[in-house]
Amino acid sequence: MPTVSCNSGLTFEIIPQTTALLVIDLQRDFLDPDGFIASYGDDISTMRSIIPNAVALIQAARAADTTVIHTREGYAPDLSDMHAMKRERGVAGRSGPLGRFLIRGEAGHAHIAECRPSTGELIVDKPGFGSFYRTDLEQVLNDRGIDRLILFGVTTQCCVSSTLREAVDRGLRCLTVEDACAATTPELHNAAIQMIYGENNLFGWVSDAARVLAALTPLPT
């Protein structure tokens, strides 16, 4: 089985039949200049810089016949699936150039063009930060016998970190691809990555796109 060399001297084994690539929230509202995050004045250039690595990982996983699952954060138009705290903060629903921010069905809720799911790939629509919160992701993974995840996306400290913690609590082996994740500031990204190393790699493995790609790409015959 192919293995990935990881930080801290660890290795992560990729078992094609039981491994899934989990692509977290590569949506226009997070990565488009007209989207939700940019509307707050945040610089999204650092987040957009991971797109080439994300594209390469998705393509490699497809070529290796590895399960690819895409997530999207978004809420019902009437916000009925958003809890009161978020409604009070005005997290979603405001109007912008791509429609109402973070509302399912609006242009901003869609994946960016570079990372659109292929026909037949799973899409998990989540009304929260973690990919397991009020979704059927756990059942989907169990049904397919998947026990390990290669995960990346945006933002590192929020939806990626929330998903990673949920997954580890469910006994999944998780590899986070450091340079295919990003936050609005390097400080937030770096802090979230460092937390994975804490307490003897409590939240799993960390590597980079080049090493994961090398493991996913079969040697020429």
* CATH code for the domain in which residue 209 is found: 3.40.50.850
**N-to-C CA span, the chain:** 16
125 among known catalytic residues: no
* 148-161 pLDDT tens trace: 999 999 999 999 99
Q: Which one of 6, 25, 29, 174 is the catalytic residue?
A: 25
212 is a domain residue = yes
Res. 201: pLDDT tops 50: yes
221 is a domain residue = no
- The number of folded domains in the chain is 1
pLDDT > 90: percent of the chain: 89
* 78-111 pLDDT tens trace: 999 999 998 888 878 999 999 999 999 999 999 9
Model confidence at 200, pLDDT cuts 50, 70, 90, reads: confident
Three-class DSSP category at 12: strand
* 37-82 pLDDT tens trace: 999 899 999 999 999 999 999 999 999 999 999 999 999 999 999 9
Model confidence at 221, pLDDT cuts 50, 70, 90, reads: very low
Comparing 147-156, 166-175, 197-206, the range with the smallest average pLDDT is 197-206
* Mean pLDDT score across all residues of the chain: 95
159 among known catalytic residues: yes
7 is a domain residue = yes
In b/e form, how buried is each residue of 154-189, taking b as 16+ CB within 10 angstroms?
bbbbbbbbbbbbbbbeeebbbbbbbbbbbbbeeebb
pLDDT of residue 219: 52
Model confidence at 33, pLDDT cuts 50, 70, 90, reads: very high
Comparing 7-11, 102-106, 130-134, the range with the smallest average pLDDT is 7-11
Residue 71: give the domain boundaries: 3-216
Query: Within 13 Å of residue 51, how many CA atoms lie on the same side as its CB?
Result: 18
Q: Which one of 159, 174, 179, 181 is the catalytic residue?
A: 159
119 is a domain residue = yes
Could you give the CA distance from residue 105 to residue 100 in angstroms, rounded to a whole number? 9
41 is a domain residue = yes
153 is a domain residue = yes
Q: Which one of 6, 29, 126, 174 is the catalytic residue?
A: 126
81 among known catalytic residues: no
